[in-house]
Amino acid sequence: MAGNRVVVYKGPGEVAVESIDYPKLELPDDVVNGLGIKKAAPHAVVLKLVTTNICGSDQHMVRGRTTAPIGQTLGHEITGEVVEVGDDVLFVKEGDICSVPFNIACGRCRMCNEGKTGICLNVNPARAGAAYGYVDMGGWLGGQAEYVMVPFADFNLLKFPDRDAALEKILDLTMLSDIFPTGYHGAYTAGVTTGSTVYVAGAGPVGLAAAYSAQLLGASVVIVGDMNADRLAQARSFGCETVDLSTGAGLADMIAELVGEPEVDAAVDAVGFEARGHGAGAAEAPATVLNDAMTVARAGAGIGIPGLYVTGDPGAVDDNAKVGQIGVRLGLGWAKSHVLATGQCPVKQYNRQLMNMILADRAHIAKAVNAVTIGLDDAPQGYREFDAGAAKKYVIDPHGMVKS
């Protein structure tokens, strides 16, 4: 049997590509022992990775800002070709190319039946919800690899209807595993609709995906805020307005210059718990973006929060922040009757519709996020460049299947 290679966290600022065993159709020990279920997984498949992406959520671990242990395998943005099928898999066949939602779901529990696949009850004994290659998410192996096992395959996999068409648009379709649905979820739960004015905090890939999604939803003006000039330029490349938060100017004043009033109809936090204050060289202040959003969102507005917040951050600025307790002005949001939407995006709520937009040539998300392809052995360099602020979305191509 073939081996497997995967990207592994080696300590703050360091990843490596290491050899591990080829995947088996078995559930992780954490899940089996914690939930008392069978280890054999005839409902699973093995995928040969076509593409797998580096995510900002991975960077939180690699920076040492989570409780991830040394040796944690990485990668939850997975698109692959089915190469092995369990006996109980009925509707997925060898050779199918599929997108894998980053949230692992059983398809059987109350949450899955309600469409809340980001908080499945049967895939992680530590808490509701699981993901591939992520700390405290059930012990599932990461997908920045050559091969990966996907459980409950009939439920989790999104099969692309035509192999050749999928490979032609694979750089767009690879975004369906996470950042396109996540960005869309942020805009959608914020209430973005026809004619909305929208503020998106953060011009990383998720922020750019949220901004692009706001445009798909009909926003009249999308304003993206960041302190990285290259990333702001990327936002402008597909028609967004931008505000440079490194200037120290007031956010509300900058928004007023763009839309004629110091508020917007909807706001999206695509930054999360490593947020910084405004101004060049500003220190970390984890509540900044949420407080900004409540300040500039009009009364009655929605605030989508796809940005990650954690319950364990050993590198936090204070003891409260180390357990996810930050200084949010909840009274302000309460007084303005804001609706806040938090948590993992339930990818399956959006991925099929967004796939259809891509295949119909109506969505070009890879261009919006500036997708670039690298090899599996280039992953450590990709992590370094991404962490340094590159305005790129790194797509790993382990088997050379992406056309140049």
Could you list the pLDDT tens digit for every one of the 404 residues in the chain?
479 999 999 999 999 999 999 999 999 999 999 999 999 999 999 999 999 999 999 999 999 999 999 999 999 999 999 999 999 999 999 999 999 999 999 999 999 999 999 999 999 999 999 999 999 999 999 999 999 999 999 999 999 999 999 999 999 999 999 999 999 999 999 999 999 999 999 999 999 999 999 999 999 999 999 999 999 999 999 999 999 999 989 999 999 999 999 999 999 999 999 999 999 989 999 999 999 999 999 999 999 999 999 999 999 999 999 999 999 999 999 999 999 999 999 999 999 999 999 999 999 999 999 999 999 999 999 999 999 999 999 999 999 999 87
Distance CA 398, CA 404 (A): 14
Distance CA 36, CA 185 (A): 33
> What's the pLDDT score for residue 2?
74
Q: What is the full DSSP assignment across 17-55?
A: EEEEPPP-SB--HHHHHHHT--SB-TT-EEEEEEEEE--
> In whole angstroms, what is the distance from residue 348 CA to residue 23 CA?
24
Residue 96 confidence (pLDDT): 98
Domains of the chain: 4-178+346-396 (3.90.180.10), 183-341 (3.40.50.720)
d(Cα 254, Cα 246) in Å, to the nearest integer?
12
Q: Say how far apart CA 267 and CA 140 lie, in whole Å.
A: 33
CA-to-CA distance for 205 and 394, rounded, in angstroms? Answer: 10
- Strands 197-201 and 264-269, by their bridges, are parallel
- Measured CA to CA, the distance from residue 310 to residue 60 in angstroms comes to 10
Q: Give the pairing of strands 393-396 and 45-53.
A: antiparallel
Of 210, 207, 209, nearest to 225 by C-alpha is: 207
What tokens appear for 368 in the block? Answer: 């919006």
- Predicted confidence at residue 275, as pLDDT, reads 96
Is residue 118 within 8 A of residue 129, CB to CB? The reply is yes
CA distance 132 to 117: 14
Find out whether 124 and 151 touch, Cβ atoms under 8 Å. no
Instruction: Work out the burial of residue 14: count CB atoms within 10 Å of its CB; fewer than 13 is exposed, 13-18 middle, 19 or more buried.
Output: middle
Helix (H, G, I), strand (E, B) or coil at 177: helix
